[in-house]
């Protein structure tokens, strides 16, 4: 299947493995997805610069195919991570949480494509004006940081496809090929899946985290954190305490928990088990290459089903 995104990035399938701090902050998942014809994305946000540099070397050694690097631009380490990405001549930047304008010329100079993660029409238009190559549009179902406006993927993707001329990668709430086909039908030119790829042997989170994702149903997530930058995660002891707490107690509670606690230590009761509503659609741990194979097959089945109606 050819779309403007597959052509722009030189990938076989219009499928992205979403950047996920800790879950995709290692080489094996990125390599497996890129080798299977999708776009593997390194979640560089939590990495120390030296580790990021090493992992980029490992990814280069593991795949000849294109891959991406995600850097949340508001992070304290973002300047160093950007420098390393430039030095390593990465093919694709997937930037979130900050404006692209000042960085674009240097990434253009190394031939990299720049995709900007947005969660509103306003930010989509700003990114288009700044000259990015494509948008990743996150809807409310997404794990991690969904839009504060709480607009769902179907509505937000459609709105942004109509509002800009850029190709759109739709993200949030998709765990199978039928979901991919649905978003392509809305005008997206690729679809990104995060939570689905947590349930793979390659994802670099604790087994308890993977099992919690498998056990969750579609209504088992909630939002925590500051209302301007909410986080979608699985309900657990921490979210219960956070939601029952007084407004003035919440900041301290939020800081006492972390994604790292759940992802690396396996504390899925008091850590932040970030995952999307699509956790309710994931019930099996499968190698990432097998996930990719099934996604492509299911996408074809969905297309055929529609064509036969
Ligand atoms: C554990 C986890 C960590 C995430 N970390 C990041 C991150 O570091 N940077 C980013 O841009 N998005 C991050 N996200 C959001 C994903 O890139 C993606 O938008 C989301 O997973 C899509 O929704 P889905 O989980 O329903 O597929 C994270 C999501 C999860 C579940």
Task: Place 224 in a pLDDT band, splitting at 50, 70 and 90.
Answer: very high
φ, ψ dihedrals at 110, nearest 5°? -95, 5
Beta bridge partners of 67: 40
Q: Name the residue with the closest Cα to ligand 1, atom 6.
A: 20
Give the binding-site residues of ligand 1, using a 6 Å CB cut-off: 18-21, 23, 43, 45, 70, 72, 96, 117, 138, 141-144, 171-174, 192-195, 274-276, 278
- List, in sequence order, every beta strand (DSSP E) within 33-161: 40-43, 67-72, 92-96, 113-118, 134-138
**pTM score, whole prediction:** 0.97
Give CA–CA dist 110/112, Å, rounded.
6
pLDDT at position 18: 98
pLDDT at position 40: 98
Mean pLDDT of 92-120: 97
- CB-based burial, 149-162: b 16+ in 10 Å, e otherwise: eebbbbebbbbbbe
Is 87 exposed, middle or buried, given 0-12, 13-18 or 19+ CB atoms closer than 10 A?
exposed
φ, ψ dihedrals at 109, nearest 5°? -60, -30
Q: Name the residue with the closest Cα to ligand 1, atom 4.
A: 20
Please write the tens of the pLDDT for every residue from 65-102: 999 999 999 999 999 999 999 999 999 999 999 999 99
From 75, 94, 143, 168, mutation site for ligand 1 pocket: most ligand atoms within 8 A of C-beta: 143
Q: Name the residue with the closest Cα to ligand 1, atom 10.
A: 19
Atom of ligand 1 nearest to the CA of 136: 19
Please write the tens of the pLDDT for every residue from 48-75: 999 999 999 999 999 999 999 999 999 9
Q: Name the residue with the closest Cα to ligand 1, atom 11.
A: 96
Query: Side-chain half-sphere of 243: how many Cα atoms within 13 Å?
Result: 13
pLDDT at position 111: 98
Distance of CA 278 to the CA centre of its chain: 13
Task: Place 295 in a pLDDT band, splitting at 50, 70 and 90.
Answer: very high
- Percent of the chain past pLDDT 70, that is, above it, reads 100
φ, ψ dihedrals at 65, nearest 5°? -85, 165
Do the bridges between strand 134-138 and strand 92-96 make them parallel or antiparallel, or are there none, so unpaired?
A: unpaired
Atom of ligand 1 nearest to the CA of 96: 11
Give CA–CA dist 43/26, Å, rounded.
8
Neighbours of 102 (CB within 10 A): 11
What mean pLDDT is reported for the chain?
Answer: 97
Mean pLDDT of 237-258: 96
Cβ distance 96 to 73 under 8 Å? Answer: yes
Mean pLDDT of 165-192: 98
Write down all domains in the chain, each with its CATH number in brackets.
4-204+283-308 (3.20.20.70), 207-263 (no CATH)
Is 308 exposed, middle or buried, given 0-12, 13-18 or 19+ CB atoms closer than 10 A?
exposed
Please write the tens of the pLDDT for every residue from 1-36: 999 999 999 999 999 999 999 999 999 999 999 999
């Amino acid at each position: 299947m050819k779309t403007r995104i597959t052509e722009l990035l030189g990938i076989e399938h219009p499928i992205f493995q979403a950047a996920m701090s800790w879950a995709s902050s290692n080489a094996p998942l990125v390599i497996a997805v890129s080798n299977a014809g999708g776009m593997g994305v390194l979640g560089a946000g939590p990495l120390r610069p030296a580790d990021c540099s090493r992992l980029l070397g490992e990814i280069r050694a593991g795949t000849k195919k294109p891959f991406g690097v995600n850097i949340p631009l508001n992070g304290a380490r973002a300047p160093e991570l950007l420098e390393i990405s430039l030095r390593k001549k990465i093919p694709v930047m997937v930037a979130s949480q900050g404006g692209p304008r000042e960085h674009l010329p240097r990434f253009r100079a190394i031939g990299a494509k720049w995709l900007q993660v947005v969660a509103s029409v306003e930010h989509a238009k700003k990114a288009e004006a700044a000259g990015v190559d494509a948008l990743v549009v996150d809807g409310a179902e997404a794990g991690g940081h969904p839009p504060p406006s709480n607009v769902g993927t179907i509505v937000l993707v459609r709105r942004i496809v109509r509002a800009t001329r850029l190709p759109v990668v739709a993200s949030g709430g998709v765990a199978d090929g039928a979901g991919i086909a649905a978003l392509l039908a809305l005008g997206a030119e690729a679809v990104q899946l995060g939570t689905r790829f947590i349930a793979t042997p390659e994802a670099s989170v604790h087994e308890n985290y993977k099992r919690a994702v498998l056990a969750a149903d579609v209504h088992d997530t909630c939002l925590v954190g500051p209302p301007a930058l909410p986080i979608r995660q699985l309900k657990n002891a921490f979210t219960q305490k956070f939601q029952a707490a007084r407004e003035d107690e919440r900041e301290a509670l939020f800081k006492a928990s972390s994604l790292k606690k759940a992802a690396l230590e396996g504390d899925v009761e008091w850590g932040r088990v970030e995952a999307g509503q699509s956790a309710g659609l994931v019930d099996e741990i499968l190698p990432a290459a097998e996930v990719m194979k099934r996604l492509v097959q299911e996408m074809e089945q969905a297309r055929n089903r529609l064509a036969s109606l």
